[in-house]
Amino acid sequence: MATEVSHRPPLDLHGIHARYANATYIAASKGDMLDTVENELAGIKLTATNSAAFRSFLENPLISRDDKEKGVEDMLKGKVSNVTLNLMMTLAGNARLSEAPKIADTYSQLMKAARGEIEATIISADALTKAQVSAIEAAMKNQVGAGKKVILSAEVDPSILGGLQVQIGDQFLDLSVGSKIDSVSRTVV
């Protein structure tokens, strides 16, 4: 059964996390609740990160599948959408609850692509000023094209000595002084 084009995920991702995230995306799209499910999955991931008891419940292989399904239903029924509940029940039934945080990350990646958001990271030797970050963000907007929004994060790594390292999506540009010194030192004189 083919999925309508309007409900297809915006990225072709593969692997076990993507399989569940894609199915959840399609179901949420059909139910017009993409953002709701994204927020719910982010909440589940946050709870798994902050609560040792919840994380232990998700990861403990000694808890039977039936007990996990009952536990998930007791915790989430009436508190989350049917799409999120169905995902978590399916994960419990397939003994994959421990993968829920990674599936939430993959779903978030699909949502960012659907919104036209591109993550970019700038690594500099010293902290950048707001004016510098704004100038770099403007230059990146020209690179990614119209209709795309750059989500920028800045990191400081003194080991690059100066200049910048820029990562936009899966592209990496190294304009650091450290890499220039390395390339010169490898050149035979």
Q: What is the pLDDT of residues 49-72, one digit of tens each?
A: 999 999 999 999 999 999 999 999
- Rounded average pLDDT over 26-44: 95
In this predicted model, what pLDDT tens digit does every residue of 78-131 receive, in sequence order?
A: 999 999 999 999 999 999 999 999 999 999 999 998 998 888 889 988 898 899
C-alpha span between 8 and 99 (Å, rounded): 22
C-alpha span between 57 and 97 (Å, rounded): 9
Residue 75 has pLDDT above 60, yes or no: yes
What's the pLDDT band for 188 if we cut at 50, 70, 90?
low
C-alpha span between 164 and 180 (Å, rounded): 11
In this predicted model, what pLDDT tens digit does every residue of 154-186 receive, in sequence order?
A: 899 988 888 888 888 778 888 888 888 888 888
Q: How many CA atoms within 13 Å lie on the side-chain side of 25?
A: 29
Tokens for 177? 């002084």
Instruction: Quote the pTM value.
Output: 0.77
In this predicted model, what pLDDT tens digit does every residue of 131-145 receive, in sequence order?
A: 988 888 888 887 777
CB 22 within 8 A of CB 13: yes
C-alpha span between 51 and 57 (Å, rounded): 10
The pair phi, psi for residue 100, each rounded to 5°, is: -55, -45
Which helix (H) or strand (E) segment holds residue 62: the answer is none
The single-letter code of the amino acid at 117 is E
Q: What is the distance of C-alpha 94 from the center of its chain?
A: 23
- The pLDDT of residue 2 is 55
